Amino acid sequence: MAWFKKARRPIAPPTDKTSRVPEGLWIKCPSCAKVIYNKDLGINLHVCPNCAHHFRMSAHERLEMLFDEGRWTEHDPDLRSTDPLTFTDTKPYRDRLAASIRSTGRKDAVVIATGELDAMPVVVAAMEYAFIGGSMGVVVGEKITRAAERALADRSPFIVVSCSGGARMMEGALSLMQMAKICAALGRLDRAGVPYISVLTDPTTGGVTASFAMLGDLNLAEPKALIGFAGPRVIEQTIRQKLPEGFQRSEFLLEKGFIDAIVDRRALKATLGKTLRMMMGLPPAENASVAAP
Ligand SMILES: [Zn+2]
C-alpha cells in the first residue's frame, strides 16, 4: 500500500474551452489605462475619448477617414516584391512576404488611392505598418513615385501618410535608392507648383524620415508620434550625451522647427481640406469637413 494517496480526484478541467466573452471587444488605452469599447474607438477615429491617445491606424482606415464618403480608387495594388537579393535572416524574406500578404491582404506596405477630399481631387499614399513594419522596399518606392507622377499629371495635390520603420533591410541598397527616386519625383511636383503635404504618424523613422516624409510643402504630425532617424540608444552611444525628455516626439520636433504643426487626428481632414484649397487658390468648400471638438 502506498504511503500517500489522493483521497479525491483532481478537479476535471472544463470540457467547454470556448470563452463566452468575444475577443477584441474591449481595448485598454496604453496611455491612461482606461478600458474602451472597441466600436467607440472606431467611431472616434481610433483616438482615446479619455486622454486623446492616438492609436495606430491601418492604411484602409486612414483612407476611409480622409476621402469623402470613404470612397476612393486604388492604384497598382498588385505590385509585389521579387526578393531581388534572395535574402534570409532568421527566416527567408520570401516567407515573411507571404505571411504579411496573408495577414494584411495587401501585397506591400503602401496603398495608393485617388478620390476627393472636401470635393477636391487628391492623390493619397497611406503606409501600412502591419506589413513588415511599414518598411520601404522597391515596391513602396515605386508606388509612391508613381503616385507623385499621377498627382503631377492630374495637377492634384499629393498627400503621403507615413507610418514606417524606414528602409526595408531585406532589400538592402535597393531600398535606399527609393529615397532618391521618390525625392526626384517630388522635386518635379514642386517645380510644377503642385502641393505636397506630408503627414507623419507614429512611428515615422529611418529612411522615410530622411527622405519624403520631411519634404512636404507642409509637414504635419499627429500628437506624440515617434519621429526620428536613428533610435535614441544609438544616438546616446554616438554623442555620449543623455537625450532630453520627449526627444523624437512630435511636440519636441515642433518646438525645434522640424515640423510645421501638430494636428489632432479628428481635425486632420478639415485641416488638409482647408490648407490644400488655399494652396490651390480655390474658394472654401461648400460642405467642408469640420474638426471634431
Ligand atoms: Zn487614454
247-282 tens-digit pLDDT: 999 999 999 999 999 999 999 999 999 999 999 999
CA of 255 to the centre of ligand 1 (A): 24
Predicted confidence (pLDDT) at residue 15 exceeds the cutoff of 90:
no
What pLDDT does 284 receive?
Answer: 87
Query: What pLDDT score was predicted for residue 14?
Result: 60
Residue 120 and residue 277 in contact, taking contact as beta carbons nearer than 8 Å: yes
Gap from CA of 36 to ligand 1 centroid (Å): 8
The Å distance, Cα 195 to ligand 1 centre, comes to 34
Rounded distance from Cα 47 to ligand 1 centre (Å):
8
**For range 144-154, the mean pLDDT:** 98
- pLDDT for the residue numbered 286: 79
- Residue 184 in this model has a pLDDT that exceeds 70: yes
Residue 1 pLDDT: 59
Give pLDDT, residue 121.
97
Q: Is the pLDDT of residue 17 over 70?
A: no
Q: Is the pLDDT of residue 18 over 60?
A: no
Task: Report, as an integer, the average pLDDT of 3-18.
Answer: 66
Q: In whole angstroms, how large is the CA radius of gyration of the chain?
A: 23
Whether 82 and 170 have beta carbons less than 8 Å apart is answered as no
Give the Cα separation of 217 and 195 in Å (integer). Answer: 6
* Alpha-carbon span 18 to 199, nearest angstrom: 42
- Asked if pLDDT for residue 111 goes beyond 80, the answer is yes
Q: How far is the CA of 222 from the centre of ligand 1 (A)?
A: 15
Cα of 226 vs centre of ligand 1, distance in Å, is 17
Q: What angle do CA 8, 9, 10 make, to 5 degrees?
A: 115
Mean pLDDT on 95-114: 97
Which amino acid is present at 60? H
Q: How far is the CA of 56 from the centre of ligand 1 (A)?
A: 13
Q: Ligand 1: distance of its center to the CA of 244 in Å?
A: 24
- The mean per-residue pLDDT over the stretch 96-121 comes to 97
State the distance from the centre of ligand 1 to the C-alpha of 72, rounded, in angstroms.
31
CA of 275 to the centre of ligand 1 (A): 29
Which residues are placed with Cβ below 5 angstroms of ligand 1, an ion?
A: 29, 31-32, 48, 50-51, 53
Whole-number Å distance, alpha carbon 27 to ligand 1 midpoint, is 10
Average pLDDT for 147-162 = 98
CA of 55 to the centre of ligand 1 (A): 9
Q: What share of the chain is helix, strand, coil (3-state, %, to 5)?
A: 35, 20, 45
How many angstroms separate the alpha carbon of residue 209 from the centre of ligand 1?
Answer: 27
For residue 252, report the distance from its CA to the centre of ligand 1, in Å: 21
Summarised one tens digit per residue, pLDDT across range 205-219 is 999 999 999 999 999
| Range scoring the smallest mean pLDDT among 101-110, 182-191, 282-291 | 282-291
What is the per-residue pLDDT across 31-90, written as a single tens digit (0 to 9) for each? Answer: 999 999 999 999 999 999 999 999 999 999 999 999 999 999 999 999 999 999 999 999
pLDDT of res. 16 = 55
Mean pLDDT in residue range 101-115: 98
Q: How far is the CA of 265 from the centre of ligand 1 (A)?
A: 14
**C-alpha of residue 29 to centroid of ligand 1, in Å:** 5
212 in helix, strand or coil?
Answer: helix
Residue 20 has pLDDT above 80, yes or no: no
